[in-house]
Amino acid sequence: MEGPRLERPLTSVPPLPAAAMEGAGAVLDSARLFRYGEHVPEGTWVARLERAFAEHFGTRFAVAVNSGGSAMFLALRSAGVEADDVVLLNAFTLAPVPGAIEHLGAKVVLVDVDADLRVDLVDLETAIVEHRPKAFLLSHMRGHVADMAGVVALCEAHDVILIEDCAHTLGASYDGTPTGLFGAAGCFSLQTWKQINAGEGGIIVTDDEDLAARAILASGAYMLHAQHGTPPSEDVIQRWAPHTPNCSMRLNELAAAIALPQLASLEERNDAWRAIYGRLEAGVRGLPNLRVPRTLDEVVHAPTSFQFIADLPSDAIEHRLAVCAERGVPIKWFGRPQATGFTSVHRHWGYVEARALPKGDAVLAGLCDVRLPSDLTEDEVDTIVAVLRLAFDH
């Protein structure tokens, strides 16, 4: 084949740091894989990870759990959301996010997103007034951070609990404040394709002692909550213990040992990702059929992937993405009629009531998504640019 072709798979995962291997080895040697025990004189990896997250964000509490989905479920539940409550959710997100709301037995009401993939504040206010939600689960999907000043103002004005899904924004901020700190709780994922790769895992950060106590108890602490990295006082725990079921959503020691050193090197990786994203964005600028969503000036992003909107009919998008795939650049497309691979959109979620989302549907129809391993070289990024230019420059 003549012309550009990317030889390295975009599905490749960068190696874990040596410290993660050492930590994992120590856990395996000890055979103590469970986060609790009757005898933990040196504390546990999970507790250290919780302390490290709380320190990193300057929050009073961090609660580690077994996935990002569990983090959202537990954060909503522990903030007081109950079955049959309405929870708003921005329409550009991934299936585990409505899944966390459904898991609670609460009702998902979708909110429209604008041409730059951010929640539409006018529709957010309309949905608040029409549906009287208990909470808004704001998903910073693919790292596109909303107008947080506007979101917080609306939630405060209408007494709506704000929970942030930060699965794609560990290291991103708005006006100097890290995502995860704008509402009652921030929820992170430690799944392989996120900023920290522990295979599976989730973390809730919060300053609310009741929320933290309820999340610890519901995550399945048995009576060993004191072994947490940032436990609330015994009084607070006892306020909730009799009323909180054990939902068994604990993080294990192996995942925590793998995750902990990656928090220390987070900024290094995020800088690499920002450089890759910036080079890619500059490379495709000016292409006639392709638009890159704008990031707000207030936002420092932490991209792990690259999105563009192809302003073309479906069959033309299909054809151009086939050209990219042939040349080693697989691209996911949110406009596909069927849910495929990791990619689905609200019309595939039959359990969520349909709602008119005209702006979101217009942008999702052409939305394309490229995964970016953090160790892509400049040459590899230039090859991706060359492939996109070849496919879209006419």
Ligand X SMILES: Cc1ncc(COP(=O)(O)O)c(C=O)c1O
Selection from 109, 108, 182, 196 nearest residue 145 by Cα = 182
Considering only 179, 189, 252, 262, the residue that binds ligand X (CB under 6 A) is 189
Integer CA distances (angstroms), 170 to 56, 118, 141, 189, 252, in order? 11, 17, 12, 9, 21
Selection from 107, 163, 110, 160 nearest residue 140 by Cα = 163
CA angle 236, 238, 242 (to 5 degrees): 130
Q: Per CB under 6 A, does 191 bind ligand X?
A: yes
Q: Tell me how far, at minimum, the Cβ of 329 lies from ligand X, in Å.
A: 21
Environment class of 307 (CB within 10 Å of its CB; exposed 0-12, middle 13-18, buried 19+): buried
Environment class of 193 (CB within 10 Å of its CB; exposed 0-12, middle 13-18, buried 19+): middle
Q: Tell me how far, at minimum, the Cβ of 71 lies from ligand X, in Å.
A: 8
Instruction: Count other C-beta atoms under 10 Å from residue 289's C-beta.
Output: 17
Considering only 69, 133, 178, 373, the residue that binds ligand X (CB under 6 A) is 69
Nearer to ligand X, 191 or 295 (CB): 191
Mark residues 270-299: x for contact with ligand X by CB under 6 A, - for none.
------------------------------
CA separation for the pair 88, 150 (Å, rounded): 15
Single out the segment in contact with ligand X by CB under 6 A; choices: 18-26, 91-99, 251-259, 323-331.
91-99
CB-based contact 154:148 (threshold 8 Å): no
Which residue's Cβ lies closest to ligand X?
68
Single out the segment in contact with ligand X by CB under 6 A; choices: 18-26, 73-81, 165-173, 237-245.
165-173
Nearer to ligand X, 92 or 392 (CB): 92
CA angle 217, 171, 50 (to 5 degrees): 25
Considering only 64, 109, 141, 170, the residue that binds ligand X (CB under 6 A) is 141
Tokens, residue 187: 């929820």
CA separation for the pair 302, 180 (Å, rounded): 13
Nearer to ligand X, 191 or 383 (CB): 191
Q: Tell me how far, at minimum, the Cβ of 155 lies from ligand X, in Å.
A: 19
CA separation for the pair 46, 241 (Å, rounded): 21
Considering only 44, 78, 90, 93, the residue that binds ligand X (CB under 6 A) is 93
Q: Per CB under 6 A, does 168 bind ligand X?
A: yes
Considering only 44, 59, 78, 139, the residue that binds ligand X (CB under 6 A) is 139
CA separation for the pair 345, 112 (Å, rounded): 13
Selection from 166, 248, 157, 242 nearest residue 206 by Cα = 166
CB-based contact 133:160 (threshold 8 Å): yes
Nearer to ligand X, 65 or 124 (CB): 65
Q: Tell me how far, at minimum, the Cβ of 314 lies from ligand X, in Å.
A: 24
Q: Per CB under 6 A, does 165 bind ligand X?
A: yes
Considering only 27, 79, 88, 94, the residue that binds ligand X (CB under 6 A) is 94
Single out the segment in contact with ligand X by CB under 6 A; choices: 61-69, 108-116, 289-297, 383-391.
61-69
- Which residues, including other chains, have CB under 8 Å from residue 184's CB and lie 6 or more apart? 75, 79, 161, 162, 163, 206, 208, 211
Kindly state the number of chain residues that form the binding site for ligand X, as judged by CB under 6 A. 15
Nearer to ligand X, 189 or 270 (CB): 189
Q: Tell me how far, at minimum, the Cβ of 65 lies from ligand X, in Å.
A: 9
Q: Per CB under 6 A, does 67 bind ligand X?
A: yes
Q: Per CB under 6 A, does 167 bind ligand X?
A: yes
Selection from 138, 136, 218, 148 nearest residue 177 by Cα = 148
Q: Per CB under 6 A, does 96 bind ligand X?
A: yes
Considering only 53, 57, 65, 68, the residue that binds ligand X (CB under 6 A) is 68
CA separation for the pair 223, 215 (Å, rounded): 13
Q: Tell me how far, at minimum, the Cβ of 216 lies from ligand X, in Å.
A: 19
Which residues here bind ligand X, judged by CB under 6 A? 67-69, 93-94, 96-97, 139, 141, 165, 167-168, 189, 191, 202
